[in-house]
Structure 1
């Protein structure tokens, strides 16, 4: 996929600030909140960004780009742009799993503690265990021990949750502090990415916001 970011003057934007070690974050997710992808496009000299997506299942797909201009009127402002696209073919909608506080991936269990409230910044804690034992070897990923994004059921609205736990080498965990601000109530699909042993894991759970 190839795209350029155009500024208020109609010209392509070429200067971008680094946010969590990257100049642009790109997300893709189906309308049923499956098929999540989080990648980092590269920019060509003519200001065209290229992102290589994995195979996409047929159906409606929301694509989201987040970035901070490095100069001009929008300097240091976090922008989020999105659009919906259709992937041809016959697709099957997968029902959203029920709300829960735990998720499992690759033998790891992640437990979310805290009560998020719509429109309010609330602290959450994510505890990571494996085989019932606390995990203490989380490695930095994008300047944090976890990267958390969320998508709202029904309209696929996007939110980025910010870890506040200070990074100190390759021994993060078992508890991670999160600053969660989700704008609307309802069910959100929370995607939690973390790294151990050089491998990136992505856990998902449905979080109900009051």
Structure 2
């Protein structure tokens, strides 16, 4: 999820402005997708291209709760505390005309609706980046990540990934149409180009 500070955006040729000055929030689901879909990779790209504050839940979990397990992260109170704090920071940044990328999964429609409505209420435009990746490819990516286990990541079993895939509510075309369309699309990671869908079916709202 990304929030963009007040600035006039131009097309790549530097011609007429494409959007009026306004904060903008990019919601990439909890960026949108399951583990291994590339949410954090895309969020990092948006972070640099938009000079945005990136709020990645897993990063904070590991920093605030060293040694936390995958099970604790899923069932304990820590994730709720972290995401609640990050969301308050995100809303504060919007009010200050800052850019923010909220890098969560946002697996449910209800959660996405709440984030969209609260961000709009404080003056943000909201863009949803849905990263749609087939399960087998997800597992290939996750298993490779498990072998290396980079800082800020959790070890995820195939059984957990399969269970989570059944809980995930992918956004429909109708839901995606509720979001704003960003006039300048961030360059996606190479391995995610075919699966990335960005919400918004018409001109960006002003």
TM-score scaled by length of structure 2: 0.26
TM-score by length of 1: 0.26
Greater helix proportion: 2
Higher relative contact order (CA 8 A, sep 6+): 2
Query: Whose strand proportion is higher, 1 or 2?
Result: 1
